[in-house]
A and B are shown apart, each in its own frame.
Chain A
Amino acid sequence: MPAGVFKETYRADMAHLRYPIHWAGLVLGAGLALTAPLFLRGYYLDQAILFMIFLIAAVGLNITLGLAGLISLAHAALMGAGAYTVAMLALKAGFNSVLAIPLAGITAAGLGFILSLPSFKLKGYYLAMASLAAQFILEYFYSLLAPEQYITVPFETKEIAGIFFGEGVPLYYLALAITLVLLLAAGNLARSSLGRAMKAVRDNDVAAEIVGINVTRTKALAFTIGGFYAGVAGGLYALYSAGIGWEGFTLLVSIELLGMVLIGGPGRVVWGSMLGVLVLKTGWTNLESSLNPLLTGMGLDIIASTAKYIVLGTLIAVFIILEPEGLIAVLRRVKEYLRLWPYSY
C-alpha cells in the first residue's frame, strides 16, 4: 500500500479504484483501449479482438475454477455452444448474429447448469472426468451439426443499421463494450456475497455449508455464470470468424483455457485471466508467427507444428508446481521488490 493514502471507511476499502496508480491505470488503459483502432490495423486489430474473446472465456472459467474451485474441462465446448447458437440461428432463421450473442450466452449458461449437476454429488477427479466426457460428447454433436466441417455464418446477418460487425473497427468496439461490461460484472461478482460464497465452497465446502451457504446453489451458479461467459465469447467468435467448425472447440482449447487461468492466476478473476490470455494467446500467437518462418526455413517445420504442445504443456506444469498462484503473484512480488528498492528490507 503506498504511503499517504488513508482509508477511513469500509466503502473506501472496497472501492475498485483505491490508489492513485489505479486512476492512472484506468485513464491509460481506457485511453489505449478506446484509441487502439487508430494505431492497430488488420492482423493486429484481429489479435486484439481475439484477445478479448478469449479473455471473456477465461474469465468465465476463472469464475468456475478459480473462485468456486470446480474443475471444468468442457469450457471450450461451452464456447462452441455459444458459437453454434449464433451460427444456427443466423443460418436457419436468418436471426441477426449480433443480437443473438446474448442468446448464445444463455444457451451456454443452460449447458453450464447441466454440467453443474454432477458437481452436487462429485468432487475433484470425478467432476473433472464428467466434464471431460461432456467435452467429447459435445464435440461429437458439433461434428454432427456440420458434417462438411464448417458452418459459415451468413454475412448479411452480421449487420445492424448498415454497419457490418463481422470484422475490423465496428467488431472491435462491440467486443470492447461487451468485454468491459462482463469484466466489471466479474470483478464485482468476486467481491459480492456470491463470490465469497464461491470462495468458501472452494476452500472447504463442509464449513461453507455449516455457516449457512447453500452449496448446491453456489456450485450451480458458478457453472452457469462461467457457461454464460463462455457462450458470449463463443458468440463473438462466430461473429469474428468466417466459418466455425468443431475443431475450434476441442479438448486442446479447453486445456489452453485451463492453462490461461492457472498460469494467469486462479481466483484473480479479472487481472489473473488477463495475464494468462496475454501470455498464452496473444504472446504465443505473435511468438509463433515470428518464429515459424525461421523454423520452417531451417527445415524444422515439424517443431514449428509441435512447439505449441511443448511450450503450453511445460508452462502449465511448471506454473502449477512452482507458482500455484500464477503470474499475478510473480507480478506482486516484483511490485513489492520495486517498492522497497533499494532498501530490500
Chain B
Amino acid sequence: MDPMLLLESTVRGVIIGLTYAMIALGFNIVYRVNKSINFAHPVIVLMAAYVALVASYRYNPLLAYLLAVLAGVAASIAIERLVARPLLGRPPVALIGATLGIYYLIKGVTITIGGAETASLPIAYKLYNLGPITLGLNDIVSGLGSLLVLALVILLHMKTRLGSAMRAVAEDVEGAAAYGIPVRRLMSFSWALAGLIGALGGLFLAVKNQVSVELEFYAIRALAASLLAGLDSIGGVIVGGIVLGIAEEVGGLLLDDYLPGIGYDMAFFILLLVLFVKPYGLFGTERIERV
C-alpha cells in the first residue's frame, strides 16, 4: 500500500469527518432535550441542498444559501411543534415512526420541487497542491466551515447563559423548569439549532460533492458518528465524525478489492459495533437502565 495514498485518504477522511460531525451534532442536540432521535434530520440536509440549488437559479448564491438555511430552521421548528411535542411521553416507536413519516413527506416535496437531478452549486472550483495531497477549494471550504460551525455551537453550549440553560434542560427537565428556565422555548430553540446545523451540513455536503439525492445517505451515516460519540455528547461528535470519516475513506481504500463499495457501509458496521460494545458511546452519559 502506497503510504501517500493512505495519507491522502486519511486527510480526506478528516475533512468529510468534520461535516459528519456537524450533522451528527444535529442529532445530538435534539436527543439531549427530547431524549429521542430525530429521524427526519437527514431529510433536512437533503432539503437545504435542493433549496439552495433551486434558489440559485433565480437569485444570487448568497441569498440562495440563506434561504436554504432558513428553510432548514423552519422545517425543524415545524417538526418540533407539530410532531415531536404532541408525542412527548409516548413510546419511542411513535416518534421513530412519525419522524420517518415526516422524512418521506419532506423528501417527496423536495424531489417534487428540485427534481431528482444531480447538479453543482455555483461556487468556484480550484485545486490546491498541498505537498503530496491535492485538495479542491470545495473540500477546504466544507472542512473549515464545518469546523467553524462546530466550534461556535460548542462555545454556545459551554460559555453562554443560553448554553447553560440548554445543558440544564438536557440534564433534568423538571429541575430546569423548577428554576424558571423556559423549557418549551428551549426545546424549540434546540430543534431550530439542529435544523440550522443540518441545513449548513447539507450546504457543505453539496459544495463538497454535488447536490443529489445521495446526500440524505450521508446524513443517515452521520448517525454512526453521533452514536460513537454518545447520543448526548456535544464535543465528542468531532471524534466520532473524524473516526467515521477516516474509517470510510481508509476502509474503502483497503477493502475495496475484496468488498466493492464497502466504504460507505463502514458507518453501519461501526454503528453495530458501538451498539454491541458500548451503546452509550465514547463520551455519552451512561444511564442505569437495565432491560
Interface residues of A (CB under 8 A from B): 65, 69, 71, 73, 117-126, 128-130, 132-134, 136-137, 140, 143-144, 147, 205, 215, 252, 255, 258-259, 262, 266, 302-303, 305-318, 320-321, 324
Listed by A's residue number, 10 A-B pairs whose Cβ atoms lie within 8 Å are A117-B276, A125-B36, A128-B92, A137-B269, A262-B97, A305-B116, A310-B108, A312-B101, A313-B103, A320-B101
Which residues of B, 242-285, contact A by the 8 Å Cβ criterion? 259-262, 265, 267-269, 271-272, 275-276, 279
Per-position contact with A for B90-110: 1 when CB-CB < 8 Å, else 0?
111110111011111111110
- Given known pairs A136-B268, A205-B291, A321-B86, the reply for A313 and B105 (CB within 8 Å) is yes
- Given known pairs A133-B268, A308-B108, A313-B106, the reply for A125 and B96 (CB within 8 Å) is yes
Per-position contact with A for B63-107: 1 when CB-CB < 8 Å, else 0?
000000000000000000011001100111110111011111111
| CB–CB A310/B276 < 8 A | no
| CB–CB A137/B37 < 8 A | no
Minimum CB–CB distance from A267 to chain B (whole Å) comes to 11
A147 contacts across to B, CB distance below 8 A:
260
* CA distance in complex: A119, B106 (Å): 30
| CB–CB B271/A130 < 8 A | yes
| CB–CB A258/B275 < 8 A | no
* CA distance in complex: A309, B262 (Å): 28
* CA distance in complex: A303, B109 (Å): 9
A313 contacts across to B, CB distance below 8 A:
100-108
| CB–CB B90/A324 < 8 A | yes
The SS class assigned to the B binding surface is helix
A119 contacts across to B, CB distance below 8 A:
291
A130 contacts across to B, CB distance below 8 A:
271-272, 275
A133 contacts across to B, CB distance below 8 A:
224, 267-269, 271-272, 275
| CB–CB B104/A255 < 8 A | yes
* CA distance in complex: A52, B107 (Å): 29
- Given known pairs A121-B291, A129-B223, A314-B105, the reply for A137 and B111 (CB within 8 Å) is no
- Given known pairs A71-B93, A137-B265, A320-B87, the reply for A302 and B112 (CB within 8 Å) is yes
* CA distance in complex: A303, B111 (Å): 9
* CA distance in complex: A52, B215 (Å): 35
- Given known pairs A129-B275, A134-B272, A205-B291, the reply for A69 and B91 (CB within 8 Å) is yes
Contact of A309 among B86, B105, B115 (CB under 8 A): B105
Query: CB of B2 within 8 A of chain A?
Result: no
A126 contacts across to B, CB distance below 8 A:
275, 279
| CB–CB A302/B111 < 8 A | yes
* CA distance in complex: A129, B221 (Å): 11
B116 contacts across to A, CB distance below 8 A:
305
Minimum CB–CB distance from A155 to chain B (whole Å) comes to 30
Minimum CB–CB distance from B112 to chain A (whole Å) comes to 5
